[in-house]
Structure 1
């Protein structure tokens, strides 16, 4: 797969440290470092909460969303637009930044950052046409735009290649396997995983796969269990999944035919835990 380009500039979502590469070519998220663990936020003293009524109410709405949300159901969405700077800072400080970052490429350019509360996402939706930009919070296993936009305009079959480059050995058979699994795939099916690390693949095989599968519109980075980069391919329901060690060395590379790879998803247990953590935070805020 293509390696990340060097940072030339960063864009930052208000209140987070989520950054993406800005370049004339495609956007790539920079690889995260280390493993993220939950850290309780440093909350303001009660006397400093005057004027934060709107921010506190939004956090209470978020708590109610976490209490009722179930994985697999539509996302619960809260709009940050009405909050002034003081209330926005309270929400930013309370939610912080979590393990997973997402960028939509080649379409509207929506970006998402998971907060400290797993399953709670901060979204930045750029302005488009007559629609103003928006900043949202979503409660979901993965932001809804991931499923909606990852494979827009992609294909289901690649077709044969008459002339193969020297050194291409096993990649054509893998393409045939992928196409068959894509044709069989239905929502709710378990992921079909091809472990490229364990296969006898030549450098030319990897290049062939990279060229023939192409890219879709979503890149996901997770640092929950080491660094993991997940990229939608140009074939419907096919994802590149790469795991890296602390030195950014690739240690596991797979192709997955699935809805969204499980490595990127918040589980119901995560959302329930976030509900309890936010309840503790709101109790501390008074």
Structure 2
């Protein structure tokens, strides 16, 4: 039996683990698609032409620890929305965040890091609003996590468990001591010999959370919130989609999903270059 929350040797089969059992997205990042758009279409999409310098100016001033800024494109024309999609491209980080209201935020980072496309849909899948956001992580992610309980709740361990209770005690202690801005406390689960009963009980105690993100860089990294605030499952996959690193992090948002300060400045320069090349 393959144990969850562990390091697996390169090439070994490994099963996805808690909290949310979605398959990691496949494929490489898509590059900017403006070259496929006609000059006439670019000329008539004036909403996009106006939006780009505003996004670039926001990126030039944005700080990693500050709230982001939203740009509502819900009422933009279909041509403008299509051109914005082509202009921003598809970056490394994508996922979903389920808000307490039941609204699901679909999140896609642009090729320009720190710029996000956020589509909010109701429980029936109907699009409610469409935004571009400049932030280290979309506001919807923090809102979804803020609604989580601040402590783990679980009952007595069942027969057959060995080490899950000390592990849960450590997790609970770290949650209680964590303050936003503290460095992440990383628990590499392979260091804890765990029986199948341990793993099952750990999954029940942590519970599924409302956020799942996937970062596709050199390796795929799947970042999933547990059902308790500031607890995350962080898993790295090899090219065969087998888990090669499995850990828990006690932190507000894992660093793998965050845009850094220098990303904002680089992205501002990139968007200004696009604006000058295509929209002037």
- TM-based fold match above 0.5: yes
Q: Equivalent residue for 1:18?
A: none
CA separation in 1, counterparts of 2:267 and 2:75? 24
Q: Equivalent residue of 1:150, what SS? A: helix
1:165 to 159, 162, 167: 159
What are the residue-to-residue correspondences of 1:193-208 with 2, within 5 Å? 193-208=186-201
* Per-residue deviation, 1:203: 2.8
Count, aligned residues: 262
Structure 2: 5+ residue runs without aligned partners? 6-14
Deviations along 1:89-144, one digit per CA (max 9) or x if unpaired, are 2211101111111212373111111111111100011258xx98100000111101
> C-alpha distance in 2, partners of 1:114/1:195?
28
Structure 1: stretches of 5+ with no match in the other structure? 5-25
Higher relative CO (CA 8 A, sep ≥ 6), structure 1 or 2? 2
Residues 188-238 of structure 1: CA deviation (Å, up to 9, x unaligned):
111111001333223332222111111221111111231111111112211
Contact kept in structure 1, 2:219 and 2:236, CA below 8 Å: yes
Counterparts of 1:132 and 1:97, CA distance in 2 = 20
Of residues 121, 125, 131, the one that matches 1:126 is 121
1:82, distance to aligned residue in structure 2 (A): 2.6
TM-score w.r.t. structure 1 length?
A: 0.83
Whether the aligned pair in 1 keeps the contact of 2:148 and 2:228 (CA below 8 Å) is no
State the Cα RMSD in Å: 2.6
Work out whether residues 56 and 268 of structure 2, in 8 Å CA contact, stay in contact via their aligned partners in 1. Answer: yes
Is the CA contact 2:31–2:90 (under 8 Å) kept in the aligned structure 1?
no
Task: Indicate whether 1:63 and 2:64 are aligned.
Answer: no
TM (normalized to structure 2)? Answer: 0.85
1:96 aligned partner: 89
**Is contact 1:226-1:245 (8 Å) kept?**
yes
User: Matched residues in 2 for 1:194 and 1:33: separation?
Assistant: 27
Question: Match for residue 149 of structure 1?
Answer: 144
Residue of 16, 28, 42 corresponding to 2:34: 42
Which residue of 2 is the match for residue 255 of structure 1?
A: 248
Task: Report how far residue 27 of structure 1 moved.
Answer: 7.8
